[in-house]
Structure 1
Amino acid sequence: MAYRHPDRETIKRILEETDTIAVVGLSDKPDRTSHMVSAAMQAKGYRIVPVNPNADTILGEKCYKSLKDIPFPVDLVNVFRRSEYCADVAREAAEIGAKTLWLQLGIVSEEAAEIAEAAGMNVIMDRCIKVEDSILLPEGKTNR
């Protein structure tokens, strides 16, 4: 079955239920989109967990070489990698028990979507998490 975007209410619920976001492909360069988006999400109250094998810390958080190296639960995996890498990321996200796989704007992988959906994960592709969060939760996350 072909991928379909979740409706806005579903995306809003996902964001409300998300606290920890592992960002695969998060750059340590402040002028990169992955860095800007992650900094904005961090400022909105999400815990950002960088997944970058070439850096020690980004945005004040320890970097991990892979999703499997993160020693605590992750709610959402946000991916800033090219489509051909996304199926492997989806497999790792499923292995660590993430609830949502989010492929950033311009990234689409039907294979990754199938892997994640088969593991019971929510899937969002070709959408910017920062834009969706700004529209759906303009006042920021509520304290639960």
Structure 2
Amino acid sequence: MNTADASMFDLLSHSQSVALLGVSPRPDTPSYEVASYLQSQGYQLVPVTDGDDSVVGYPTAKSLDKVTEPVDVMSVFLTSDQAPALTDDVSRLGVKAIWVQPGCSANVEQACKQTGVPVYTNHCIMRDHQRLLGNAKA
């Protein structure tokens, strides 16, 4: 196992909560599929979206600055070219790593890299979990 895989394995096997920044409340979207999978693996989800009031049964926060509970890792689904300000919230929430899903813009990737925590760009947290933990419950 390479160093990045070993780090991801450690994070995924020891984390309890995942913030999903930009997750869609629509069941026909890849981000919703990821949320459903992570829920099935026992993670506590913190959906952050300006869409519906809940995603896979978890109440949504309209923005990251509205999240009050600690978050172990974050997965980002933002495709806009507008880079979010993440550093203060990532630090405040105790995020240990960020997965930047395939399809995110370069500006979003750069904003994630400025947070100072490990960033796995162009990685799907669900696929990494399946590959490294083999669909084992979190």
TM-score by length of structure 2 reads 0.85
Q: Residue 101 of structure 1: which of 94, 98, 113 is its match?
A: 98
Partner of 1:59: 56
State the identity as a percent: 28
Which contiguous aligned blocks of 4+ residues in structure 1 show a shift greater than 4 angstroms? none
Structure 1 position 13 matched with structure 2 position 15: no
Partner of 1:41: 38
Q: Quick check: 2:40–2:137 contact (8 Å CA) kept in 1?
A: no
- TM-superposed deviation, 1:33: 0.5
RMSD: 2.2
Structure 1 residue identity aligned to 2:38: M
Q: Quick check: 1:26–1:35 contact (8 Å CA) kept in 2?
A: yes
Is there any run of 5+ residues in structure 1 with no aligned partner, and where?
1-5
TM-score by length of structure 1 reads 0.82
SS in structure 2 opposite 1:53? coil
1:32-59 superposed Cα distances (whole Å, 9 cap, x missing partner)? 0100111011101111111012211111
SS in structure 2 opposite 1:116? coil
- TM-superposed deviation, 1:83: 5.9
Partner of 1:112: 111
Aligned residues: 135
SS in structure 1 opposite 2:35? helix
Partner of 2:66: 69
Is there any run of 5+ residues in structure 2 with no aligned partner, and where?
none
- TM-superposed deviation, 1:110: 5.1
- TM-superposed deviation, 1:112: 2.2
How many angstroms apart in 2 are the aligned matches of 1:134 and 1:95?
29
Q: Quick check: 1:104–1:128 contact (8 Å CA) kept in 2?
A: yes
